[in-house]
Amino acid sequence: MSELKMASATKEVFNMLCCMCFAPTIVMLSTAVRYWLITLLCPTSSRILNVGLMFVKNRPEYELSVGYRTSAGAVLIAKDRIVKEQLLPSYEIEFTVRFDECDEKLAVGITTELITNQKVDAIIGPTCSNAQTYVSFEDVANKIVVRKDSFRVASLPWRSEDLDVLKARSDAMRRDIKMFPAIISGVNAAFYNIPLFTWGLSTSSAFGNMDRFPTTALLSVNSYSLGIAIHSIMLSFKWYQFAFIYSNKGDNEKCSMMKIDIGDVFAEREDVIITTTIRLKDVTSVEVIQALGNVSARSRIVVVCLAEGFNYKRTFLLAAKDGGYLNDEYVYVFADTKSKGYYVSVLGEPDRPIWEDMTIPSDGRDKEAMMAFGKTLVVSNHLGGENSNPKYDAFKNGVITRIKDPPFNCLEDCKGVQYSKICCLIYHLIDRYFIQIIYQ
């Protein structure tokens, strides 16, 4: 195959993968991934291209952003276009579907199974780079008892004098356990030298390490890049210090990863400093006012990260107003890697303005909240709002209907109003789908 033909074929397969990957941004690929794209495209005869797909299916907290039922159908639409335009005439494309559920144990097991048993040529997924689960005192203690002189497997009695563990309230003994599905899958893929294209909520800057992830392509905006944007804003307005307030309530991944990456950005630059970092255990008026009271002694610029779709940003600002922390002295910057700016996605419903109360009955403070948001900034990759373009409408409807077709065959399990609207992180796929921008 001539160099010209190889370059053309590489472009075609890369376009195919980008069409099927639900991704806001295409990043530079490592040498290993590029080598795979080229060597894959020198077939002596027609062959099957087997692509492994990893989704989140039964985690309600991820349904709105990367849910399987409202995103997987896009893969078949992309495949139809590839066939129609004869982008890969020498290939038959097949998919192998698995569900990692943003769990690292499942993720590493599934990637191994896809590579060794299913013999996939590439993997699209996982969709989470940093997830979180909870382990209670009883979960651990029922398996392991710490004795004065040894460890042994046993069942923990309610009271036992020979234990060095004092049982307290179980709520106080809960611990957050971090999990890294996409990261561990990327390392696994590197071992087997298989390309892995992670998308969705995979926002860790760790994927920028080509030595560690030579076969992984990050197809989503990472929070390190968001940190650079925040840094630029700070310098533009001559703000040289700020406070960072975040909560993992409602989203176990986004803000904790953002805290790490933003911290790295400003640690590398000495011209702007983070004066304090506060984590809200719950987003309530009382807790927000208390946090802002602590912040007020250190900064007037506050960068905030909160989950979308739970009224949290609205609650935060109204609490700031009630506490006397929303005036000309303060600036609030809402930072987000999956935001629609001043609109929020609602499962199965049209997008809503961020200042509208989502609770029933409403508190009647929508106008007050709207005025409050007028004094804020939003920094995000901006997923875009609702579109009425006929092509967009056809695409969105196709994503929902094609989930019924093989290999998904999702019928009864995909019924319901909550599955009638495509997931919010698929919006970036629309531009990639209708306009082939790679190597144009």
> Hey, where are the domains in the chain?
47-142+178-221+388-439, 223-380
- Cα 170 to Cα 154, 175, 283: the distances in Å are 19, 10, 22
Write down the residue that tokens 């307290």 correspond to: 168
User: What is the pLDDT at residue 397?
Assistant: 82
Q: What is the pTM assigned to this prediction?
A: 0.67
Contact between 395 and 429 (Cβ < 8 Å) = no
Residues 227, 163: Cα–Cα separation, whole Å: 47
Residue 10 reports pLDDT greater than 50: no
- Are both 47-142+178-221+388-439 and 223-380 of the same fold? yes
How many other CB atoms are found less than 10 A from the CB of residue 207?
A: 24
Give the model's pLDDT for residue 344: 81
Which CATH class, in words, describes the domain spanning 47-142+178-221+388-439?
alpha beta
Q: Is the pLDDT of residue 177 over 70?
A: no
CATH number of 223-380: 3.40.50.2300
Neighbour tally for 176: CB within 10 Å: 11
pLDDT at 341 over 70: yes
**Residue 350 CA to its chain's centroid (Å):** 21
pLDDT score of 198: 84
Which pLDDT band, with edges at 50, 70 and 90, does 149 fall under?
very low
pLDDT band at 152, cuts 50/70/90?
Answer: very low
pLDDT at 422 over 80: no
| Residue-level pLDDT at 46 | 58
Q: How far is the C-alpha of 128 from the C-alpha of 258, rounded, in Å?
A: 13
Q: Is it the case that residue 297 has pLDDT exceeding 60?
A: yes
Residue with more model confidence, 387 or 297: 297
pLDDT for residue 59 is more than 80: yes
